[in-house]
Amino acid sequence: MAGMTGLFSLLAACGGTTAPPGEPGPPAGEAPAAKMPAPQRLRGEAVVGKDGYGVTPCGSQRQRIVRFAPDAQAFVDRFLEPGGRLEFFLDGWASEQGGQLVVEAVERVHTEGPRCDREPEDAAFAARGNEPFWALSLTAAGWALQRPGAEPLHADAKAAKVGDGYAWASTAPAALVELSPGFCADGMADAATAWRAKLTLDGETGNGCAWRGMQPLP
């Protein structure tokens, strides 16, 4: 138990947050099963070894051997396959199971870009698009858009749950931001994220990739 407590203290120090939605309760009449610890945000340097994967969490000098849950493994395999990469930065959700660190979901992986020297975005989501470049910071109450050569643009727009994703619709400016879960590759940054982004503004549509920041969404 001390090892588990130490791990979650470490993940919290790395900017860890508890993963959004919890597990459903047991059916009526059944005894509740032992509750698994909620996944925590895990960020750190990952390396592919002969016998699996190692991750050195942000804020630690100790490398942990990790196992990936099936969906997380498929995500990492898809990212690593084209270039045979052996080292990358991992941003995901992990839990301690039977003394082993298990990555249950991947938020973002990349070989170029911010690492442990930068905290996760102070937003619910961050999104990026290319050609032309744009960057969005999204909260439960609105968004802020940055584009080269243009003044920053802000909108008040309440986040709405749409299926498995989210949408922000605004009238001033007239815009729609849509996020949907799914593997999204950003070739400009040698990165992949767990969310796809779509920005419709002034009659034009741009596509990009998105990932969770530190703020929760309802």
Q: What is the pLDDT of residue 202?
A: 87
Residue 36 and residue 133: Cα distance in Å, rounded?
A: 41
Residue 49 and residue 69: Cα distance in Å, rounded?
A: 17
Alpha carbon separation from 139 to 50, 125, 157, 163, 192 (Å, rounded) = 41, 7, 9, 18, 21
Domains of the chain: 1-11+40-116 (2.40.50), 125-212 (no CATH)
Q: How many CA atoms lie within 13 A of 66 on its CB side?
A: 34
Per-residue pLDDT of the chain (218 residues; tens, 9 = 90+): 333 334 433 444 444 456 553 334 445 555 555 566 689 999 999 999 888 999 999 999 999 999 999 999 999 999 998 777 899 999 999 999 988 899 999 999 999 888 999 988 999 999 999 988 999 999 999 999 999 999 999 999 999 999 999 999 999 999 999 999 999 998 778 999 999 999 999 889 999 999 999 999 87
Q: What is the pLDDT of residue 84?
A: 73
Q: What is the pLDDT of residue 33?
A: 53
Helix (H, G, I), strand (E, B) or coil at 99: coil
Residue 7 CB burial class (10 angstroms; 0-12, 13-18, ≥19):
buried
Q: Which two tokens mark 123?
A: 């937003």
Contact (Cβ atoms closer than 8 angstroms) between residue 217 and residue 112: no
pTM equals: 0.83
Alpha carbon separation from 192 to 91, 107, 172, 211 (Å, rounded) = 10, 9, 31, 9
Q: What is the pLDDT of residue 6?
A: 40
